[in-house]
Chain A
Amino acid sequence: MALTKDLGFGPDEQLVRDQARKLLSDSVPVDKLRVLVARDHHEAYETKIQPASWDDGLWKQMVELGWSALSVPESAGGLGMKTIVSVALAEELGRVAVPSPLPATLAATAVLKAAGATAWLEKIAGGEAATLAITPESGSWEPGDTDVEARAAGAGVALHGKAAFVQDARKARLLVVAAKSAGGVALYVVPVDAPGVTVTPDRIVDLTRDQATVTFDGVAVDAKSVAAGEGKGKAALETALPTILTLLAADACGAAEWQLQTTADYAKSRVQFERPIGFFQAVKHPLVNVMLGIDRARSLTYAAACAIDEDPADALRLARMAKAAASDAAAFASDRSVQLHGGIGFTWECDVHLWFKRQKHTEQLFGNATQQRAHLARILEAAV
């Protein structure tokens, strides 16, 4: 099959991205973000339960614009748009660092799509936010590694155990749960308020997300809850993995670009030794290196997004590269954004820590740069 010349990013795709860029920059300016998540440092880190503030009105607006339906197939009431559109959207969300259930919902959508769970995809297209509850407490990101068990209970099945590192659990309505049994791994969709489900928020560094450990204490599931039957869950998670990695890489790229532009602007205005500090090569060259890292990561991210739709056999290689490059770019952009702001960059008052913290979180999700490269080396070896 011939790959498209424009990476699948034509006028329709650009329209959605540009509209998102405008809406998000208009509705989530930095001062509003600060009011939402960083008004007070005691509140952010010292209250019994960490707040998880977000703007429900903005989410409703996103749903009305069709963002939750973007990557849902048309057969399930969605818009059936290309992966690169969701990826471009994830980049815009990272750029404004907005707390939103959308990134988690896009990841859950990828899994449900791979599982062919049409009924649940319809709910997402209709505006129900969802998140993945597939990760064990060990933090293994291997598809199918889960601490949740599906045990026979009467005519049906009940879920027991817990899922860790569940993203934006307090913003989502639906949990996509990976559960193991003798027949292999299955995927179930469970409402967060179903009897037997307990959401225990983690206290996390990142103020723009929430994260929880979710316990399942005999949660009854029926046939309607099954997204992928016993033995079919792992394959669905494997199919969705390149999309999940690429969405995260895009978030990191968008956030890193904000860090780069904000720090470059500061270097143009902050005067020391009678010159704007951006004159000095000790400031200028590292900022250029941040840019080189971002562009490598962005190019790989779009290439991975395109491959997911047009060349699936090569998608995991590119997605691993994209997530590795984006995690490295995120780390370096974060490092320089704080350091080059000098004393003010170390304070709560300066905005850069909000993005710094989001990046630290994104870097680790579904494997940091080192972990991606360990997998990648095996893929490369097989191709030699």
Chain B
Amino acid sequence: MSEKRDTQDQAEFREYCRRWLEENRPPAPSFRLPISPIEVSSEEQRQYLCAWQKKCHAAGLVGTDYPKEYGGHGHKGFQAIASQEMGRAGVPFMINVIGLGMAAPTILVHGTEDQKRRFLPPLLSSDEIWCQGFSEPGAGSDLASAATSVVREGDNWIVNGHKVWTSLAHFASWMILLGRHTKADKYNGLTYFIAPIRDAKGVTVRPLVKITGETGFNEVLFEDVVIPDSLRLDEVGKGWTVAMTTLTYERGAAEGAGSGGGTSVEEYVNELIALAKRTKRGAATAWDDAVVRDKVAQIAIRAEGLRQNARRMRIEALVDHPMRIPLQSKVLITELIQDLSALGVEIAGPHASRYLGDPGAPDGGHWPHAYMNSYGMTIAAGSNEIQRNILGERVLGLPKSK
């Protein structure tokens, strides 16, 4: 449907993406692929997914909007089309999700010319994997209370601290790191760095195990780690401002350097209908139950509402407050995925008790797994409770909670 709004150039590019994806779809691996980049845990998964991202990057489907001198394709405004088509084609996702979605746009906005030329090309091609060092044991929803210390010593900085929920750290070369250079000022006491992870002296990466039973994210300990000042992003004391740029992209309020692949929300709605139609309930099916149809229709409306919010967001005359829709997207998408996964579990009934690896599990155990995994998204990037505070305060003008 969105293609009906394409200009001729966009339509041609979309057609190119479709054809390329059709011809280059990678063969299914012999091992199980996780449902999103944050569960990638084995070396064979990493190799397979890195090879795929590299191929997509070479073909112009990743880094599409980015300038050529930084390893991009200089095709501004076309990333969204490539990402849509990858979603639609149901091909594997891009492994370097933190890099593409958060590090790249942050470096593009705040980085020096040298930083852009050094870091963006291998990020886009996935030759270097990125992770994000924001959350700490004592800094979750209240991110600005981050305590990892960065102390200047000549041309270097010495880092000590503890970062948690760090997806992809076990494969990462680099981390975007929010550090504290002074305790005197909560917000202006933060400075932002690009921190070396792989083989860096004093860095320890330990896997954390999620409720799904998978690893894929980690805790990262820094003990007297030395970082050159050339890896500082923007000015000393500007860390919070830079972090807000990152979060704008993380929360889906702006388009990053590429995403795509994996299963789109629209496809999940169709899969719910298909699941309901083949799930037997006596002589009938779950789809014959009007309550089930109503619940599926509710999910479909929420999914379409998200698409149409994105469309309306660009039309100034039809929005009342510039941040009103962008600030909603994180809450809406994560709760939609949670609720639609829970509905899949409800429709599958007793069959949903069977988990990954059970031959009798509907869709390979996807529904209970996706449901449990969805809590990562409603909690991450500022829990949805914090998002609602932000919306209430910034958009509705209600009194601040802190």
Contacts and interface: CB of A to CB of B under 8 A. Distances in A.
B298 A373 contact: yes
B286 to A, nearest CB: 12
Give the residue among A288, A302, A324, A325 with the most B Cβ atoms within 10 A: A288
A9 interface: yes
A14 B317 contact: yes
Given A9-B315, A288-B392, A4 B399 contact: no
Contacts of A268: 397-399
B276 to A, nearest CB: 9
A297 B332 CA distance: 13
Contact of A7 (B269, B318, B400): B318
A264 B397 contact: yes
B392 A284 contact: yes
A48 to B, nearest CB: 41
A295 B273 contact: no
Given A296-B309, A324-B301, A384 B273 contact: yes
B385 interface: yes
A276 interface: yes
Given A2-B4, A7-B311, A296-B309, A285 B385 contact: yes
A201 interface: no
B4 A311 contact: yes
A373 B297 contact: yes
A370 interface: yes
Nearest to A88: B318
A344 interface: no
Contacts of A376: 297, 300-301
Given A285-B392, A377-B297, A295 B309 contact: yes
Contact of A292 (B269, B294, B328, B398): B328
B254 interface: no
A267 interface: yes
A302 B312 contact: yes
B6 interface: yes
Contact of B315 (A6, A283, A295): A6
Given A281-B385, A318-B304, A380-B300, A291 B309 contact: no
A260 B392 CA distance: 11
A380 B268 CA distance: 13
Contact of B398 (A284, A298, A302, A325): A284
Contacts of A295: 305, 309, 324-325, 328
Contact of B6 (A2, A303, A370): A2
A2 B317 CA distance: 21
Contacts of A14: 317
B308 A303 contact: yes
A223 to B, nearest CB: 41
Contact of B401 (A5, A264, A281, A300): A281
A299 B332 contact: no
Contact of B274 (A310, A373, A384): A384
Interface string A286-327: 011101100111111011000000110010001001001100
Contacts of B389: 281, 284-285
B15 to A, nearest CB: 15
Contacts of B297: 324, 373-374, 376-377, 380
B280 interface: no
A373 B318 contact: no
Interface string B244-271: 0000000000000000000000000110
B296 interface: yes
Contacts of A155: none
A287 B398 contact: yes
Contacts of B70: none
A376 B302 CA distance: 13
Nearest to B4: A3
A380 B315 contact: no
Contacts of A264: 396-398
B388 interface: yes
Interface in B1-55: 1, 4-7
A1 interface: yes
Interface residues of B, number: 50
A291 B5 contact: no
A284 B388 contact: yes
A136 interface: no
A285 B398 CA distance: 10
Nearest to A373: B297
Interface in A7-51: 7, 9, 14, 17
A324 B399 CA distance: 32
A377 B296 contact: yes
B391 interface: yes
A244 B277 CA distance: 32
B345 interface: no
Give the residue among B298, B324, B325 with the most A Cβ atoms within 10 A: B298
B395 interface: yes
Contacts of B301: 296, 300, 321, 324-325, 373, 376
Contact of B399 (A7, A279, A298, A299): A279
A56 B308 CA distance: 37
Contacts of B4: 1-3, 310-311
A300 B273 contact: no
A384 B320 CA distance: 36
Contacts of A260: 396
B331 interface: yes
Contacts of A318: 304
B90 to A, nearest CB: 15
Nearest to B301: A321
Contacts of B283: none
Contacts of B287: 381
A278 B290 contact: no
Given A268-B399, A321-B304, A299 B309 contact: yes
Interface in A240-265: 257, 260, 264
Interface in A362-384: 370, 373-374, 376-377, 380-381, 383-384
A303 B311 contact: yes
Give the residue among B269, B305, B331 with the most A Cβ atoms within 10 A: B305
B135 to A, nearest CB: 22
Given A3-B4, A295-B325, A370-B294, A380 B269 contact: yes
Nearest to B393: A284
Contact of B396 (A3, A288, A303): A288
B294 A373 contact: yes
Contacts of B395: 291
Given A288-B388, A288-B391, A311-B4, A302 B318 contact: yes
A296 B293 contact: no
B328 to A, nearest CB: 6
Given A17-B317, A374-B293, 15 more contacts: A7-B315, A275-B399, A279-B401, A288-B392, A295-B309, A296-B308, A299-B308, A302-B312, A303-B311, A321-B300, A370-B294, A373-B294, A374-B290, A380-B296, A383-B270
Closest 5 CB pairs of A and B: A296-B305, A299-B308, A373-B297, A278-B398, A377-B293
8 contacts: A2-B7, A7-B318, A267-B398, A279-B401, A287-B392, A287-B398, A321-B301, A381-B287
